[in-house]
Structure 1
Amino acid sequence: MSARGEVFLTALGAEAERLHPEILAQLRAPAAAETAEGVFAVAGSRFGRLGALALPVVGPRMLVTRHARDVPFILRTRPGRTEDGRATLDTIREFRFPGATQFITDRLTESVVPGLVRNVLGARGRVELIEECSVTDRGALRMRTKRVALRLWGRRFALRGILGISVDLEDGWDETHRRRTIDMRARNPLFGTVLEYRGWYRHLEETDEPNIA
């Protein structure tokens, strides 16, 4: 039977055993669509509405144009498979900023290279990240960008140097509150941090509904 986190388990291989037991158990659960809710202590882009200037290039559901603290969010994931049988994981992140709700979507795909996953961002899939998966000393899942590319007009353009983006994400476990933690920063060599979010979340039971106002 497929697992919800098969994309990560395949990339990590034997190293998956070093994950915190709660995270490992959730990744090994039977494949099914899942919803989680939580709060970001801080989330968004400090560039605000200037980020909208990139939308014609990267497409919708790729960027957020607000930055705030204590931002409620909903996380929806759905595992699947490509036509050639590789595991995928589709994610929708719903940021409930004051006065506006914004979204970021992506699809992770199992890579043919051990340790790596392919991440295609946005509704049009124009931004592609190749990310390395590892486990931290505290048992958190870590993902770091190895390569980034822009897909336009049927071509793939590698983004390097000042055009590049470096994403560093840690998905951990809070023993005190019994919940997952998340910390993500996307940086550009010229502009610094262009997107960030950090906070906590919990997976909902099948009978639960998101109740964050």
Structure 2
Amino acid sequence: MTARGAAFLEALGEQAQRLHPEILAQMSVEATRDSAEGVFAVAGSRFGRVAGLAAPVIGPGLLVTRFARDVPFRIDTVSGRSRAGRATLDTVREFRFPGATQYVTDRLFATGHPGIVQNALGVRGRVQILEHCSVTDEGALRMSTRAVALRLGRYRIALRGILRIEVELVDGWDEARHRRTIDMRATSPVLGTVLEYRGWYRYADRTAPDVTASDAGGVSDVDQ
């Protein structure tokens, strides 16, 4: 069995000890399959159905065509090891938009290089991102894009310049409400913000009082 946050812990190395104690403890839990639920104060893409035009190239499990506030969501993960022994984390994010549920999937794994993880996005893993992991002064996990590529069959196309996508994610801890916080934004130098979400979540194994969807708005921002 692999720790639920093994890929991040391996990438961070000694720096992992600077994570907030609650985050470090949750990442260290041994769990092959896991789930968490929460509420996004804001989630989705403002491009709507236009974003779906890229589906034939990118494939399913990545493009989001809705945008809303107070969006309930669920995260399902599977932790494991690659053939090379590197920690892996397969994730399915379920966005429960009003009138429709959409999914974003990815497979993340440690690379063996300090601070670096690789993420293959979508069911077909055609969008591949190298991300740098670090710890903020507040003990949150920060992930920032280092390189992006599109893989089509045997071809790998590096996305640079106006084609580049920058992803910034901060996964923190809300001390007052004892829950994780999440803040992600993917931006294009030409299109601006193409996908965003921010809110809170809790793992299913934690006992906590019920919180209404409207409560997400007051604590969704993550200190950076």
- The TM-score bracket by the shorter chain reads over 0.9
Q: What is the identity, as a one-letter code, of the residue corresponding to 1:122?
A: G
Alignment partner of 1:166 is 2:161? no
Superimposed CA distance per residue, residues 77-123 of structure 1 (whole angstroms, 9 cap, x where no aligned partner): 11011112111000000000000000000000111211100000000
Cα distance between partner residues in 1 of 2:156 and 2:31: 31
**2:131 maps to amino acid:** E
**Paired residue for 2:63?**
63
CA distance in 1, matches of 2:27, 2:52: 35
Secondary structure of the residue aligned to 1:198 is strand
Map of 1:50 onto structure 2: 50
Say yes or no: does 1:38 pair with 2:38.
yes
Alpha-carbon distance, 1:29 to partner: 1.0
The change in CA–CA distance for 1:139 and 1:92 in structure 2 (over 3 A counts) is: same
Deviation at 1:206, TM superposition (A): 8.8
Q: Which residue of 1 aligns with 2:219?
A: none
CA contact (8 A) 2:2 2:32 kept: no
Q: Which residue of 2 aligns with 1:5?
A: 5
Q: Secondary structure at the match of 1:55?
A: helix
Shift of 1:155: 1.2
Please tell me whether the aligned partners of residues 11 and 112 of structure 2 are also in contact (alpha carbons under 8 angstroms): no
How many residues were matched structurally? 211
Q: Hey, what does 2:183 align to over in structure 1?
A: 183
Q: CA RMSD in A?
A: 1.8
Identity in percent: 66
Name the SS for the 1:46 alignment partner: coil
Q: CA deviation at 1:205?
A: 2.0
Question: Could you tell me how far 1:204 is from its partner in structure 2?
Answer: 0.4
**Aligned counterpart, 2:110:** 110
The alignment partner of 1:150 has SS state of: strand
- What one-letter code is carried by the residue in structure 1 that aligns with 2:129? L
Instruction: Provide TM-score, normalisation by structure 1.
Output: 0.95
- What residue identity is the alignment partner of 1:44? G
Distance, in Å, in 2 between the alignment partners of 1:122 and 1:188 is 18
Could you say what secondary structure the match of 2:43 adopts? strand
Aligned to 2:143: 143
For 1:77, the equivalent position in structure 2 comes to 77
Distance 2:32 2:154 in 1: 32
Report what 2:87 is aligned to.
87
| Superimposed CA distance per residue, residues 111-157 of structure 1 (whole angstroms, 9 cap, x where no aligned partner) | 12111000000001100000000000100000000000000021110
Structure 2 runs not aligned, ≥5 long: 214-224
Q: Structure 2: how far apart are the matches of 1:143 and 1:136?
A: 10
Structure 1 gap segments, 5+ residues each: none
2:204 is aligned to 204
TM-score computed with the length of structure 2 as normaliser: 0.91
